[in-house]
Amino acid sequence: MTKPVDPRAVANLLLKEARARGQHVSNLKLQKLLFLCHALYLVHTGRPLVRGSFEAWQFGPVHREVYDAFKIFRAEPITEDAQRFDPVTGVRQPIALPADRALLDVVQKVVQFYGDRSPGELVNITHAKDGPWDHVVSAAKTNANMALKISDEVIAERFKYLWFGKQPNFKDKEPDEDAPPLPETDLARVALQPDDRKRIVLRAVRSFVPPHSLAPLRKVAGALHAARPSLLELPTCAWSEIEAAIRRYCGPNLHWIEPNLSLAKLLSEFNERRNIKAVEWEFPFIPVGYGAKIKFWHDFYSIQDGVPVLSFLDPRLTDGLGIFGRTFVFSAMHHNVAIGDFEGARLEIIRFPMNKYTGEREVEVFTFDERDVVPEASLNKAIDDTYKVWREILAERQAEQRRQRPTGTDDGGFGF
């Protein structure tokens, strides 16, 4: 085998072997068996078994491409094989099983020795102290790691601890609370800027209640693209339904309604002119370390010019995404959602700037040139540098608050 294979193909092979032995496999159990296959193959051959990366989720290593393929089964035994999905046509096709002898040997041995273990037992094995999962989770408290990916280097180095390490103390796994996570848009617009500029921008980031929230607009982003459950179903969401949803999401905040409705109407009409089709699709939040998560994408994709398109709405008039912020967002999208069946998808950011001549807001679409992608390691370093500065600024604010705190000798202005 010369290159890593589709992880879903190995998952299907594991299921086939387990069925032959009369074993039932859930998505959780499958993830652990797949990780053991990958790790054993990596350790013995020096080559990765499957493409992509495993991520450190709550219950151990998870390959998101495989998780998505089988998530419809929830905690129940998997009864169908994974299939390849074409986002443009909506067609699913079988995935050929690999025939590599070394791969087949690893799969058979893993199922033979671990196939009858319960999901809980397998979780405990992969959670072993100092093992790959434990190392990544511990490091993420003070270091950036987009999607908490478990690199092959970490797997090869720490795989031995899965049998000899102690079980972790989960009370020690909570992220540090001394530095509250930055809002994701602020992280994006700051991270790739020079350090001196980082400090200037971050000093202006404070907790405050904005005059209105545009969260209701983001919540109806799929409807504004006429997203539907599948390509075979007609859109059913009329403007009156979108308007009603926005009013409901605004709740008692009546002053939020007008700005959300105006931008929603603007985007709805813009997308009608583009004549695009869109499909509802669940894309996850991505942890990046420091207790922070990002989601620069929505739960749908559109089809434009025969290509799947992943979109992100940036509706803020001020403090929106500039060139550095857009590069960060596009790179995060490229590494974390434009993968697997969505590899090669086009990425776009939709903004609503003010027209300087008319004084009215309009739609502006930014697209991405893959040649400008920032490597994931560079993104992680940028997040580390940003949080270093952010923590320094928070420490300065706390020191200032202590200096301004009343001493207890103030008479309250009564002149006693």
What is the DSSP secondary-structure string of 190-202? HHTS-HHHHHHHH
Residues 160 and 222 in one domain: no
Q: Which of 139, 173, 207 finishes a domain? A: 173
Q: Tens of pLDDT along the chain (416 residues)?
A: 679 999 999 999 999 999 999 999 999 999 999 999 999 999 999 999 999 999 999 999 999 999 999 999 999 999 999 999 999 999 999 999 999 999 999 999 999 999 999 999 999 999 999 999 999 999 999 999 999 999 999 999 999 898 644 444 434 333 344 567 888 999 999 999 998 999 999 988 865 456 778 999 999 999 999 898 887 766 567 899 999 999 999 999 999 999 999 999 999 999 999 988 899 999 999 999 999 999 999 999 999 999 999 999 999 888 789 999 999 999 999 999 999 999 999 999 999 999 989 999 999 999 998 889 999 999 999 999 999 999 999 999 888 888 876 655 544 443 43
Residue 392 belongs to some domain of the structure: no
Q: What confidence score (pLDDT) does residue 93 get?
A: 96
Is the CB of residue 375 less than 8 Å from the CB of residue 149? no
Residue 395 belongs to some domain of the structure: no
Residue 416 belongs to some domain of the structure: no
Structural domain boundaries enclosing 56: 7-173
Q: How far apart are CA 158 and CA 63, in angstroms?
A: 18
Phi, psi of 10 (to 5 degrees): -70, -40
Residues 167 and 286 in one domain: no
Number of domains in the chain: 2
Q: Which of 149, 173, 197 finishes a domain? A: 173
Q: What confidence score (pLDDT) does residue 172 get?
A: 38
Residues 202 and 137 in one domain: no
Residue 386 belongs to some domain of the structure: no
Q: In what order do the strands lie in the sheet with 277-280?
A: 227-228, 277-280, 300-304, 307-314, 346-351, 364-367
* Residues 6+ away with beta carbon under 8 Å from 208: none
Residues 166 and 274 in one domain: no
Residues 333 and 201 in one domain: yes
Q: Which of 112, 146, 173 finishes a domain? A: 173
Q: What confidence score (pLDDT) does residue 271 get?
A: 94
Whole-prediction pTM: 0.88
Residue 391 belongs to some domain of the structure: no
Residue 368 belongs to some domain of the structure: yes
Residues 13 and 100 in one domain: yes
Residue 402 belongs to some domain of the structure: no
Is the CB of residue 185 less than 8 Å from the CB of residue 314? yes
Residues 203 and 238 in one domain: yes
Residues 246 and 343 in one domain: yes
Residues 12 and 49 in one domain: yes
Exposure b/e, 201-226, CB count within 10 A at least 16 = b: bbeebeeeeeebebebbbbbbbbbbb
Q: What confidence score (pLDDT) does residue 164 get?
A: 47
Q: What confidence score (pLDDT) does residue 170 get?
A: 39
- Work out whether the CA dihedral 202, 203, 205, 206 comes out positive or negative: positive
Residue 219 belongs to some domain of the structure: yes
| Cβ-based burial of 237 (10 A; exposed 0-12, middle 13-18, buried ≥19) | middle
* Residues 6+ away with beta carbon under 8 Å from 301: 87, 278, 279, 281, 308, 309, 310, 311, 342, 345
How many residues belong to the chain? 416
Residues 169 and 188 in one domain: no
Distance of CA 24 to the CA centre of its chain: 30
Residues 123 and 245 in one domain: no
Residues 190 and 77 in one domain: no
Q: How far apart are CA 157 and CA 152, in angstroms?
A: 8
